[in-house]
Amino acid sequence: NAGVTQTPKFRVLKTGQSMTLLCAQDMNHEYMYWYRQDPGMGLRLIHYSVGEGTTAKGEVPDGYNVSRLKKQNFLLGLESAAPSQTSVYFCASSTLPRELFFGEGSRLTVL
């Protein structure tokens, strides 16, 4: 009954460090998404994937990379973290045209 699982839930980085957020879904969904949530700005799409081996840019892709090597996993990478990337990150999955199922979020702070 896991649904969408994000790891880690919390992380503090120093400027310039790199890290990877992992999203795993057990619903056999084709579509997966990474959003970031900032105060007063709602959720903004970073990258998304319409199937295994595919990725595409969303609204705010700069500074992030993604990979979808396995259908159930969608990784979000920060190669050189910046304070502007301090945010709450949400992963989601779906099977069209259904609603998106979201993970619990990952809070990232970049000092």
* Contact positions vs another protein (CB under 8 A): 31, 33, 35, 40-45, 48, 50, 56, 58, 88, 90, 94, 96-102, 104-105
CB of 16 to another protein, least distance (A): 28
Instruction: Provide the greatest CA pair distance for the chain.
Output: 39
CB of 23 to another protein, least distance (A): 14
Cβ-in-10-Å burial (0-12, 13-18, 19+) of 62 comes to: exposed
Q: Name which of 78 and 103 has its Cβ closer to another protein.
A: 103
Q: Name which of 14 and 40 has its Cβ closer to another protein.
A: 40
Q: Name which of 57 and 70 has its Cβ closer to another protein.
A: 57
SS (H, E, C) 21-65: EEEEECCCCCEEEEEEECCCCCEEEEEEECCCCCCEECCCCCCEE
CB of 103 to another protein, least distance (A): 8
User: What is the phi/psi pair of residue 21, to 5°?
Assistant: -100, 135
